[in-house]
Chains A and B, each alone.
Chain A
Amino acid sequence: MEQYNMNLTLKVWKQKNSKSNGSFETYQVKDISSEMSFLEMFDVLNEQLIKAAKNPIAFDHDCREGICGMCSMYIDGRAHGPWTKNTVCQLHMRAFKDGDTIVVEPWRSAAFPVLRDLVVDRSAFDRIMQAGGFVSVNTGNAVEANTLPIDKNDADASFDAASCIGCGACVAACKNSSAMLFVSAKVSQLALLPQGQPERESRVLNMVAQMDKEGFGNCTNTYACEAECPKGISISNIARMNRDYLKAGLNSAE
């Protein structure tokens, strides 16, 4: 595709901290290359703001290669922007054309409070992981990897679930701010493997209990999460978690 430059109008959410009310601010950027990433375009804008002695826009980013799950922007009404199976850092400016107005908002969820501008606090995910996202292992030397036979299909399904980067796009895109896709991916990646069996039942009960405690909404099976997930995590994981939760719930002595 031919390289081209563009001038854009940006409407970006500005918010001082989690206590204050935010509002949109409008910025103009000039000569943006179609080969830049969306985050590089923000770097250009921030340089501009710093030179003008204004506060730069706070946004999360880390690896800039689509694997860390830090970048979290709701661009023109879509989590991670208009491309599917994509993160903001991998969204390139060729997705836009000269003269476009782009609206950028943070993830909006009671469980993800805005810390500043486009940065949200996703530590709710960490607390869900702490509630059950682990396995018991024997101490001593690491066991040779091939001593434990695992069905290839199960290993693949577990790997697919484990490719979740915990970015929170599922929560952001869901009309209910439900975290079911994230939690079900983390439950499934362990439930599918023999190493995950000892805590299989307590894990799903504890992780779902923590998820509810954090204030995420209830899943209504709209499947928006799967459509917006940058890693294409399947909703079959949600079905597996429902299954495991009901089984564990029926089995529990309480």
Chain B
Amino acid sequence: MTWKNLFTSSIGKKLLMSLTGLFLVIFLIIHVGVNACIFINDGGVTFNTAAHFMSHNWVIRIFEIGLFTGLILHIIQGLMIWKQNRAARPVKYTINAAAANSKWYSRSMGLLGTLLLFFLIIHISKFFVDTKIAMYTNGGANDATQNLFEEMKAEFQKWWVVVIYVIGVISLFWHLLHGFQSAFQTLGIRHKKYTPIIEIFGIGYSIIVCVLFVLMPISFYMGWIS
């Protein structure tokens, strides 16, 4: 296998999807961990401290480059696989009882991923870009005024923002539910003893991460957190 094959062969492409996917799975644990600080309900002191640490730390900055590289690779490779797979069946079946042999979300990773991509564009432009602009303009002098907790609180008073976030997290849930165990199958990890553990862990992970994510905009909107 040449280096080119890693990006062009069917299994090589899947390896890249699997590794970048698992990397994003680990990232989500950190993201949701920081988010969960709002549930301490101390007026955002803990959350803002955590957010400040994450944004004023050169180690995290370097990881962030890795994160975006992984994310972009996952998106581009995913779209290419989706396009190629569509071309592999030019004439579609008139009647296809796909529900009889597979789960709908395992067949809809392209669609769920695209929904996630749209969500991410909104999400990043709302919170990530703003924060970065505030940080780097004025040489970071107006950093003190940057209160991410208050910003979120204001954003999540709008019902349509909450709806977009709920849809985004629901897409993420189904994407993870298939993606988590699928990543291990692609790496060739399937074993009588370990696969059931991986599958149960994947379901637990998807539920916990997505419930924590979705509770955030809902809690702000309902006024459970002040």
Which chain A residues have a beta carbon within 8 Å of chain B's beta carbons?
24, 74, 76-78, 103, 105, 108-111, 173, 175-178, 180, 205, 208-209, 211-212, 215-224, 227-228, 235-236, 238-246, 248-250, 252, 254
Given contacts A176-B88, A208-B9, A218-B84, 5 further A-B contacts (CB under 8 A): A105-B93, A218-B13, A221-B181, A242-B11, A252-B2
Q: Which residue of B lies closest to A24 (CB)?
A: B94
Interface flag for B56 (CB, 8 Å)? no
Tally of A-B residue pairs with Cβ under 8 A?
139
User: For window 44-76 of chain B, which residues contact chain A by CB distance below 8 Å?
Assistant: none
| Distance between Cα atoms of A216 and B91 in the complex (Å) | 14
Q: B81 and A224: CB pair below 8 A?
A: no
Residues of chain B within 8 A of A205, CB atoms compared: 1
Point out which of B6, B95, B181 has the most chain A C-beta atoms below 10 A from its C-beta: B95
| Distance between Cα atoms of A178 and B1 in the complex (Å) | 20
| Distance between Cα atoms of A178 and B186 in the complex (Å) | 14
Return B10 CB to nearest CB of chain A, in Å: 4
Which chain B residues have a beta carbon within 8 Å of chain A's beta carbons?
1-2, 5-6, 8-15, 81, 84-85, 87-98, 100-103, 106-107, 109, 178, 181-182, 185-190
Q: B190 and A239: CB pair below 8 A?
A: yes
Contact check: which of B91, B97, B109 meets A220 at CB < 8 Å?
B109
Contact check: which of B89, B96, B188, B189 meets A177 at CB < 8 Å?
B89
Residues of chain A within 8 A of B188, CB atoms compared: 239-244, 246
Q: B186 and A249: CB pair below 8 A?
A: no
Given A108-B93, A245-B11; A220-B182 close (CB under 8 Å): yes
Q: Which residue of A lies closest to B80 (CB)?
A: A218
Residues of chain B within 8 A of A243, CB atoms compared: 187-189
Return A5 CB to nearest CB of chain B, in Å: 25
Q: A108 and B89: CB pair below 8 A?
A: yes
Point out which of A217, A228, A241, A250 has the most chain B C-beta atoms below 10 A from its C-beta: A217
Q: A248 and B185: CB pair below 8 A?
A: no
Contact check: which of B10, B12, B88, B106 meets A110 at CB < 8 Å?
B88
Contact check: which of B95, B106, B185 meets A242 at CB < 8 Å?
B185
| Distance between Cα atoms of A243 and B18 in the complex (Å) | 13
Q: B85 and A217: CB pair below 8 A?
A: yes
Q: B88 and A228: CB pair below 8 A?
A: no
